[in-house]
Amino acid sequence: MADDFKTFDGKEFKNATVRRVEPDGIVVSTKGGISKLYFNELPSEVQKQFHYEPQKAAAYGAQQATAQQIAAQQAEEFNRQQTQRQKQQGEQAAKQQNVQALTNTYQNLLQQEEELLAAIGQIKNAKELARRKWVTRPWSYNEPQASQYQTAPGKAKLPLLEGRLDNVRAEKKRVRQELDRAQRQP
Q: Which whole number is the average pLDDT over 42-65?
A: 94
Helix, strand and coil content of the chain, in percent to the nearest 5, comes to 65, 20, 20
Burial 61-77 (b: 16+ CB within 10 A, else e): eeeeeeeeeeeeeeeee
pLDDT digits (tens, 9 = 90+) for 111-156: 999 999 988 888 888 766 666 655 545 555 555 554 444 555 566 7
The C-alpha atoms of residue 46 and residue 55 are separated, in whole angstroms, by: 17
| pLDDT for the residue numbered 149 | 47
pLDDT digits (tens, 9 = 90+) for 159-174: 888 889 899 999 999 9
**What stretch of H or E contains 18?**
strand 12-22
**Contacts of 81 by beta carbon, 8 Å cutoff, 6+ apart:** none
User: Which band of pLDDT confidence, cut at 50, 70 and 90, is reported for residue 29?
Assistant: very high
The C-alpha atoms of residue 71 and residue 92 are separated, in whole angstroms, by: 31
CATH number of 1-52: 2.30.30
Contact 4, 15 (CB under 8 A): yes
Q: Which of 82, 84, 109, 106 is nearest to 183 (CA)?
A: 106
Q: Which DSSP symbol is given to 102?
A: H
Going from N- to C-terminal start, the domains of the chain cover 1-52, 93-133+147-184
CA contacts within 13 A on the Cβ side of 18: 14
Q: Which of 10, 41, 8, 12 is nearest to 26 (CA)?
A: 41
